[in-house]
Structure formats: C-alpha cells, structure tokens
Amino acid sequence: MKIIKTDIEGVVIIEPRLFCDARGYFFESFSQREFEAEVAPIRFVQDNESKSSYGVVRGLHFQKPPHAQAKLVRVISGRVLDIAVDIRRGSPTFGRHIAVELTGENHRQFFLPRGCAHGFSVLSEEAIFQYKCDNYYAPQSEGALAWNDPTLAIDWRIPADKVVLSGKDNHHPYLNDADVWLFDYNENLY
C-alpha cells in the first residue's frame, strides 16, 4: 500500500495495490501487520457500514475519552468527500481540516487518529461507506461539531439547499463553543 501523509499529524491517505486482469481486480483492503508497520499500531475492534444518498452530510462526529476512536474509512460504491478536522488543543494544525475524495473506483482509504472529528458528504446518487474503529461505540461519549461552522470553512461540494442532515447533525456546536469536548494534543489518547 502507498501511504500519503497529510498536513495533519497522523491523518493519512492509503492507496492499495490493485491487481487487475480480464476477470476484474483484487486488492488487500487491510493487513494488521502492514498497517502497524506503515501507519500506526492500532487494533481495530468494530466495523461499520452506512448507505446514503446524494446530499447527505454526516458529521462532524467523534467520541470523547475514554472511548475516543481512531477510524479507517473507505467507500465501497459511489463517491464521498471525506473530512478530518484536528480538534486537539495545542496541535499546530488545530481547527484545520483535510478533505479527500473516496470512491468505489479509486479504492482509497483515509485514516483518522483519535483527536479528529470526522464527517463526509455524498457526491454520487448513493454511496456505501465502511469504516473500522479502534474502540467500541459508546453513546454516552458522543461528540460532534457543526458541519457548517464558518471557522472551519469546509467546502462539502454540495449546495446548501441540497444538504440532507439528521436531526442530531442539525444542532451541533461550533468549534469555538465546544472547548470542554476537545482533546489535548500533549495527552496520549491511546
């Protein structure tokens, strides 16, 4: 796999090696040994999948300690714009985001370490999205930021009148109002 580092520490894009022939293609979507050697010593414990239609924006979600999660995300079919936001107080990239297009055709994966909020917008008619987490879902530890926070200035590539949100995702605080939920860059989150 090819590892592409981003401007946010720990956030990486992963491109698999594809083996193609007349039958189609094959690629190894995950290897614990290779992931630990090339990205981080993470042990994933839960896989999730969602299906969404065009215009859906999910996020910006995270889990607060002690149930914080690192995520490895990918698209099985369709196309999404995936977003990682650094919410580690004291980080040199605090409040910055990385956006990467994930598709069923490019097979890219996106790794978000603990301390990042995560979200995505669906750019295709529909998309099937999968992700691995290194900690179990804990509803009491849910945290989120407003998808349209002007200080984050995220271009979701969806016209505002076409954005589809859950009831919950329509009422999250801005980054500047969420200080109590944020992570400490100097604290070991693992």
Where in the sequence numbering do the catalytic residues fall? 61, 131
Bridge-based pairing state of the strands 71-77 and 46-53: unpaired
- Residue 111 has φ and ψ, to the nearest 5°, of -105, 125
Residues 121, 57 contacting (CB under 8 angstroms): yes
> Could you report how far apart the first and last alpha carbons of the chain are, in Å?
24
Tokens encoding 39? 């990205």
Residue in the block written with tokens 């900690």: 135
Distance in angstroms (rounded) separating the CA atoms of residues 27 and 71: 20
Distance in angstroms (rounded) separating the CA atoms of residues 161 and 164: 9
Distance in angstroms (rounded) separating the CA atoms of residues 129 and 48: 8
Three-class DSSP category at 141? helix
